[in-house]
Amino acid sequence: MNTPNPKQLLLDIPKWILICLLIGIFSGSASAFFLVSLEWVTQFRMAHDWIIWLLPVGGFLVGLSYYYWGESVVKGNNLLLEEYENPKKVIPFKMAPLVLLGTLLTHLFGGSAGREGTAVQMGGAISDQFTKIFKLKNTERKILIILGISAGFASVFGTPLAGAIFALEVLYFSKINFKSILLSFLVAYAAYFTVEFWEIKHTHYSIPVIPELSVNNLFFTLIVGILSGFAALLFARSTHFWGSLFSKNIKYPPLRPVIGGAVLAIAIAGLGFTKFSGLGVPVIVDSFSTPNEWYDFLLKILFTGFTLGAGFKGGEVTPLFFVGATLGSALSVFIPMPIALLAGIGFVAVFSGATHTPIACTIMGMELFGIAPGIFIAIASIAAYFSSGSVGIYKSQIVKGPKYKFYQRFQKKELENL
């Protein structure tokens, strides 16, 4: 890591504290508004199931909005990662309202998507506007992007520690300087407390029984972690597959979510798969006490990959929580460990594998479930990280660290054996 000049750091402190507070307040307020709006459209959809049949209409509105006004920001989270790696121009502010509207339309009509992507994109778009206001250099723009990701993630999930570390880890630690680390934590807590100020409540999960640290339990945890990594791999490949399929075969972008929406409406409303629409939080909560069907996690992967691949908007993380929790819950039929612990392990581990962020996921698990299951969560997150392959949900993410070296060695051995 690069160590900055202490004198220069001291001179920058007032400026960066102000920037962090402003980003935290604006991003946190945007996330608060988003969470309230998301809850409203979700409740409306649940009370009026017929609206799912209008998914093609909602898809057309999303498609048109990005085709005519959002071409420069259609890459979403990947644009943030690309601008961090190779800064070119300030991210247009219109990314924030476009992704907000697109996500709300997706959830209103019953598409299977998450919310993290929306909050992170809003945070990134908001934070990057300070480049012009404070006349920052490209190297300082990189810090702004970290701050936007941190603020968005921390505020939407209510996990400031995980949010701060996620922003650093997803951009790979080797190119992060000391100043970025401190500021990432500051902005995460500023955004978190802003959401708290607006009295927005986050979903709470509980793991009431923690077993002893026996060899058997650690072995079973490792198995769940590896299976979670495979599920993460399938999720990422599914999303990329459907996105590629739609873009290759339907040249007019607004038409993609129309056709995708029609297929989804028939599957969700016509065939009775409503539990896989929207965020799926009630299913996640139930998975901590009631075993899920073995295929629930596979269907969520299918519906979410198809929804996002067709061009609807939202995030991947809450669906990843759904996939992991239902996978762990289903495994409770075969693995002699508490169902809530298995659901919690899967909840975090699939996310770890799909985003290559085992440290942030371990911290998130302890923020959500307490310190007691920390060792189980850490083992599963690391196992999922290594078993999920080299491609995650973010195509533009550069994978470095132990996983990168592991796959490099693996590929060299394969070439030597040819």
**Cα-flanking dihedrals φ and ψ of residue 110, to 5°?**
100, 15
Of 205, 155, 190, the residue nearest 36 (C-alpha):
155
Decide if pLDDT at 73 tops 80: yes
Higher per-residue pLDDT: 414 or 259: 259
Q: Which residue has the higher pLDDT, 172 or 181?
A: 181
pLDDT at 8: 64
pLDDT band at 416 (very low <50, low <70, confident <90, very high): very low
Query: Picking from 66-80, 222-236, 282-296, 402-416, which range would have the lowest pLDDT averaged per residue?
Result: 402-416
For residue 398, what pLDDT is reported? 76
| Helix/strand/coil (H/E/C) assignment for every residue in the chain | CCCCCHHHHHHHHHHHHHHHHHHHHHHHHHHHHHHHHHHHHHHHHHHCHHHHHHHHHHHHHHHHHHHHHCHHHCCCHHHHHHHHHCCCCCCCCCHHHHHHHHHHHHHHCCCCCCCHHHHHHHHHHHHHCHHHHCCCCHHHHHHHHHHHHHHHHHHHHCCHHHHHHHHHHCCCHHHCCHHHHHHHHHHHHHHHHHHHHCCCCCCCCCCCCCCCCCHHHHHHHHHHHHHHHHHHHHHHHHHHHHHHHHHHHCCCCCHHHHHHHHHHHHHHHHCCCHHHCCCCHHHHHHHCCCCCCCCHHHHHHHHHHHHHHCCCCCCCHHHHHHHHHHHHHHHCCCCCCCHHHHHHHHHHHHHHHHHCCHHHHHHHHHHHHCCCCHHHHHHHHHHHHHHCCCCCCCCCCCCCCHHHHHHHHHHHHHHHHC
Span of 111-120, 171-180, 253-262 with lowest mean pLDDT: 171-180
pLDDT number for residue 332 = 98
Q: How confident is the model at residue 414 (pLDDT cuts 50, 70, 90)?
A: very low
* Angle CA 279–280–284, to nearest 5: 125
pLDDT at 361: 97
pLDDT above 60 for 154: yes
Q: How confident is the model at residue 413 (pLDDT cuts 50, 70, 90)?
A: low
pLDDT of 152 strictly over 60: yes
252-310 tens-digit pLDDT: 999 999 999 999 999 999 999 999 999 999 999 999 999 999 999 999 999 999 999 99
pLDDT value for 390? 85
- The percentage of residues in the chain with a pLDDT greater than 70, rounded to a whole number, is 92
| pLDDT band for position 415 (cuts 50, 70, 90) | very low
Tens-place pLDDT, residues 332-378: 999 999 999 999 999 999 999 999 999 999 999 999 999 999 999 99
Q: Looking at residue 350, what is its pLDDT?
A: 98
Assess whether pLDDT exceeds 70 at residue 7.
Answer: no
Angle of helix 296-309 relative to helix 215-249, nearest 10 degrees, comes to: 30
Q: Where are the domains of the chain?
A: 6-197, 215-405
Instruction: Say how far apart CA 319 and CA 278 lie, in whole Å.
Output: 9
- pLDDT score, position 238: 97
* pLDDT confidence of residue 418: 40
With respect to CATH, is domain 6-197 assigned 3.30.465.10?
no
For the domain covering 215-405, report its CATH number.
1.10.3080.10
Task: Determine whether 135 is exposed, middle or buried from the number of CB atoms within 10 Å of its CB (0-12, 13-18, 19+).
Answer: exposed
Mean pLDDT of 67-92: 95
- pLDDT-derived band of residue 412, with 50, 70 and 90 as boundaries? low
The two domains 6-197 and 215-405 share their CATH topology (first three levels equal): yes
Mean pLDDT, all residues of the chain = 93
Give tens-digit pLDDT for 237-253.
999 999 999 999 999 99
Question: How do residues 366-408 score in pLDDT, each as one tens digit?
Answer: 999 999 999 999 999 999 999 999 889 998 887 766 666 665 6
